[in-house]
Amino acid sequence: MAVGRRDGRAGQDVLRRVGEASVLVLISLAGGPKHGYALIQDIKELAGVELGPGTLYGALDRLERLGLIEPLPADDRRHPYRITAPGAAALRVHLESLERVSAAGRLRLQLGGI
Amino acid sequence: MDDPRAARLVQTVLRCYPARWRRRHGDEAVELAALLVKDGTPAGSIAWSYLAGAAREWLTPRPGRRLSTVACALLVAACSLGVSAGLLASAGPARAASTSPAHVPAHCRPGSPAPVPGVIPAMAHPQVVIWKAGHGRSC
């Protein structure tokens, strides 16, 4: 699945269905490799969302299965992860899609005078 | 983890994950929980998050895991829900039966045939309780 998404469907928003937690993890890893605790702290800071550890590991496993992140050699008991090139591309596509939706939403609010 | 009860709770919940997951993330998960507890996150909420994660982990189909395992897990979950619902449903009428019979309409009591217009029941008539003597309607 990961290979097909990486090679065959370039430009498609593969992050649309992975859930908010996975997108937040990917955004956090776009700033550099991190392990679990650092990810939770960073996401809390950047989005104000406190990810539960169970949610975090679920998101990490999902993203790794999709080939969007990869584990780095373990540092003691901690496993850092980093974003892969397909992960960065997928994140770019997703953020562009969000920006389009956001712009359309703002425009409609203006036109509707709400 | 400083609090032994919190540590025990987290370790118990982590046992709910598949062995493959525990081998990979187990040690780090314990350490992460300890750091979160130190930051002030309640141990209960950490345990709950891990529990939900474990359920998702079992229910997510994996290439290496046979579909029948997932189907069995779903079946067990559905059965336990069904049994719980059945127990609750059976407890309801039992509670209702233990309340005062004064709440039951007269025509619903056993041995009380439906009232027939124009007929006055004999006061001294011995009462014989016959279940089928009631009406045909459900109470």
Taken in order of first residue, the domains within chain A and their CATH numbers are 15-112 (1.10.10.10)
Considering only CB atoms, B53 lies closest to which of A35, A50, A54, namely: A54
Average confidence score pLDDT of chain B: 71
Whole-number pLDDT of residue A68 = 97
* Interface contact B16, partner A, CB < 8 A: no
Token pair recorded at residue B75? 């079946």
Find the closest chain B residue to A37 by CA distance: B32
Interface test with B, best of A1, A18, A37 (most B CBs within 10 A): A37
Q: Give the CA count within 13 Å in the CB-facing half-sphere of A36.
A: 27
Q: What is the signed CA dihedral for B114, B117, B121, B126, rounded to 10 degrees? A: -30
Whole-number pLDDT of residue B90 = 62
* Interface contact B43, partner A, CB < 8 A: no
Q: Are B134 and B108 in contact (CB under 8 A)?
A: yes
**What mean pLDDT do residues A35-62 have?**
95
Report the distance separating Cα A75 and Cα A35, nearest Å: 9
- Residue B81: pLDDT band (50, 70, 90) is low
Q: Which residues of B touch A54 (CB under 8 A)?
A: 48-54, 56
Q: Are A83 and A69 in contact (CB under 8 A)?
A: yes
Considering only CB atoms, A77 lies closest to which of B27, B53, B56, namely: B27
Report the distance separating Cα B36 and Cα B22, nearest Å: 19
Report the distance separating Cα B139 and Cα A111, nearest Å: 60
Q: Which residues of B touch A43 (CB under 8 A)?
A: none
Considering the entire predicted model, what is its pTM? 0.66
Q: Phi and psi dihedrals of A39, rounded to 5?
A: -65, -45
- The ipTM estimated for the assembled molecules is 0.80
- Residue B135: pLDDT band (50, 70, 90) is very low
Report the distance separating Cα B121 and Cα A49, nearest Å: 74
Q: Phi and psi dihedrals of A34, rounded to 5?
A: -150, 155
Residue A65 has pLDDT above 50, yes or no: yes
- Residue A1: pLDDT band (50, 70, 90) is very low
